[in-house]
Copies of this chain bind each other. A is one copy, B any other.
Amino acid sequence: MNVAAEAPAAGPGRIRATYLLRTAGDADKVAAIVAGEQSSGTFLPVPGESEALKQRSAARVERLAPVEDGGLPPLPGASPGALASYEMELSWPFANLGASLPNLLAALAGNLYELRDVAGLKLLDFAVPAEFYAAYPGPAFGVAGTRRLAGVAEGPLIGTIVKPSVGLDPAETAAVVDQLCEGGIDFVKDDELQADGPGCPFDERVKRVLDVVRRHEARTGRTVMVAFNLTGEIDEMLRRHDLVAELGGSCVMVSLNGVGPAGVTALRRHARLPIHAHRNGWGYLGRSVDNGFSYVAWQKIWRLAGVDHMHVNGIANKFWEPDDSVVASARACLTPMTKSHRNVVMPVFSSGQTVMQAEPTLARLDSSDFIFCAGGGIVAHPRGIAAGVRSLRQAFDAASAGIPLGEAAKRSPELAEAVEKFS
């Protein structure tokens, strides 16, 4: 699950990053090559690469410690030989790049993945100096702001994804949301496949869904938080955000990889609503053992950019990821980036989630500052959507009170049916 044994310390003046490095070469030399490639060196000594220039601009190898090697074959094109694994910490002078996330990525996660001497490389963690926190304000809402807007003072936010993911028109979507609100849901999100397709245009969907939300608000005094997927081009996203805000909505959602860091930062700087960040595509960035990013490193990029909620998969999910890795990701989201710049975001559990995961999620996270999204786990309830929502809330209430699920199910036919269906 790729967690660094030793996290890099944020120090004055330098940017630090920790990697899992696999190589068949002399590790000290390879680490120096990586540091050179990512700063003032190239494959040949060049004139102008003076000692003074290196002194002010070269990346440094701060630490290189052998770790157990996973025994996988090397990445293609790697220099041959017996492979070993290392935890490698590099540092860069701040003056090389300044407080810029897009340029931070070029330094931390640029050409180095392509070096021949690199048979495997994963960015495990990083730390940036104070200038970055001055330039990037981080999440505007985080846990406290989300709780305030959703009207949920304590406990997890019980949420769902509109299902079917795609194919409902705006009126059909609003009808589903109506039943969810009827059942007492806290949070609803669009599927990441549903943004502004001709089959379900964004504006019309937002209008119809927020009509429903406001009707229930008048009844309950609480505004169900709906994360509308505004993923698109910059101008589209800003306009869509404004529409949601004007119509009294309280959240927007964005696909991080489809938009990219500069687009997400632009959205953050414009937004006056919480940003729900979807990680679709994370598999190609993080699933390989020996290539890409650990989630611990990757989520920091978006917390700096200033999103408020981050997807972390779920316990016993329908995807590949083991529970330990999911829990580590969720904890990372709740771990302050620095003492003075916490940038804590709300982890979002999803993927095949049902009443069965309520207790283990609460127990393993050791916090209730999270959003728990069940899609099929609500909509596929035998008695319908509202019953699906109620069963999920009952499961969390029971878990919070220390009542075993089986016991709680005896008192609620809705919960009993959910347990039978999803266990």
Contacts and interface: CB of A to CB of B under 8 A. Distances in A.
A263 B305 CA distance: 14
A375 to B, nearest CB: 6
Contacts of A105: 255, 257-258, 281
A258 B258 contact: no
Given A49-B164, A53-B167, A102-B255, A97 B193 contact: yes
A39 B288 contact: no
A199 B260 contact: no
B103 A231 contact: yes
Given A95-B198, A103-B195, A284-B109, A78 B320 contact: yes
A317 B111 CA distance: 12
Contacts of A207: none
Contacts of A76: 287, 289, 320, 322
A151 to B, nearest CB: 27
Q: Which 8 A-B pairs have the closest CB atoms?
A: A260-B260, A113-B283, A77-B320, A57-B167, A262-B263, A102-B258, A110-B280, A44-B376
Interface stretch (A21-29, A210-218, A232-240): A232-240
A275 interface: no
Given A172-B48, A199-B96, A259 B167 contact: no
Interface of A: 38-49, 53-54, 56-58, 72-73, 75-78, 93-98, 100-107, 109-116, 118, 121, 163-168, 172, 176, 192-193, 195-199, 231-237, 255, 257-266, 278, 280-285, 287-289, 291-293, 313, 318-322, 351-352, 375-377, 379-380, 384
B319 A115 contact: yes
Contacts of A291: 283-284, 287-288, 291
- Interface of A (DSSP majority class): loop
A195 B97 contact: yes
Given A261-B258, A287-B76, A167 B54 contact: yes
A352 B43 CA distance: 7
Contacts of A195: 97-98, 100, 102-103, 106
Contacts of A352: 43
Contacts of A114: 282-283, 287, 313, 319-321, 351
A316 to B, nearest CB: 11
A197 B102 contact: no
Nearest to A94: B198
Nearest to A317: B114
A313 B113 CA distance: 13
Given A318-B116, A319-B77, A320-B76, A97 B197 contact: yes
